[in-house]
A = this chain, B = another copy of it.
Amino acid sequence: MDYILAVDLGGTKIYSALIGPGDLIVSRDVRPTEAELGQEQVLDNIISGIGAVTTADTIKDGRILGLGIGAPGPLDPWAGRVCFAPNLRWRDFCLRDVLQNRLGMPVFLENDANLAALGEYLYGAGQGNDNMVFITVSTGIGGGLILGGEIYDGAFGGAGEIGHISVVPDGPVCSCGNRGCLESMASGWAIKGQALELITAGQGGQILAVAGGEARDVGCPAIVQAAQRGDPEARSLLAAAGRYLGQAIGNIANLLNPSLFVIGGGVAAAAGRLLLEATEVSAEQRVFPALRSFLKIVPASLRARAGVLGAAAYARRQLAKQNMPQPN
Residue of B nearest to A153 (CB): B257
Is residue A279 contacting chain B, with contact meaning CB distance below 8 A? no
Is residue A131 contacting chain B, with contact meaning CB distance below 8 A? yes
Contact A294 to B166, CB < 8 A, known contacts A178-B286, A289-B177: no
Across-interface contacts of A251 in B (CB, < 8 A)? 165-166, 251
CB distance B162 to A255 under 8 Å? Answer: yes
Complex-state Cα separation, A247 to B258, whole angstroms: 22
Residue of B nearest to A291 (CB): B158
Complex-state Cα separation, A83 to B286, whole angstroms: 20
Across-interface contacts of A56 in B (CB, < 8 A)? none
Smallest CB separation, A140 vs chain B (Å): 12
Complex-state Cα separation, A168 to B258, whole angstroms: 23
Complex-state Cα separation, A83 to B83, whole angstroms: 43
Is residue A160 contacting chain B, with contact meaning CB distance below 8 A? yes
Is residue A327 contacting chain B, with contact meaning CB distance below 8 A? no
Across-interface contacts of A156 in B (CB, < 8 A)? 257, 259, 291, 294
Is residue A130 contacting chain B, with contact meaning CB distance below 8 A? yes
Quick one: which of B129, B162, B286 contacts A254, CB cutoff 8 A? B162
Quick one: which of B158, B285, B291 contacts A74, CB cutoff 8 A? B291
Smallest CB separation, A123 vs chain B (Å): 20
CB distance A255 to B257 under 8 Å? Answer: no
Quick one: which of B157, B247, B290 contacts A83, CB cutoff 8 A? B290
* Most chain B beta-carbon contacts within 10 A, residue among A74, A147, A160, A291: A291
Q: Interface on A for B, CB 8 Å cutoff?
A: 74, 83-84, 129-131, 143, 145, 147-148, 152-162, 164-169, 176-178, 247, 250-252, 254-259, 285-286, 288-291, 294
A–B pairs, 29, beta carbons within 8 Å: A74-B290, A74-B291, A83-B290, A131-B154, A131-B155, A145-B255, A147-B152, A153-B257, A154-B256, A155-B258, A155-B294, A156-B257, A156-B291, A156-B294, A158-B291, A158-B294, A159-B256, A159-B257, A160-B255, A160-B257, A161-B255, A161-B291, A164-B288, A166-B167, A166-B286, A169-B169, A176-B288, A178-B285, A255-B255
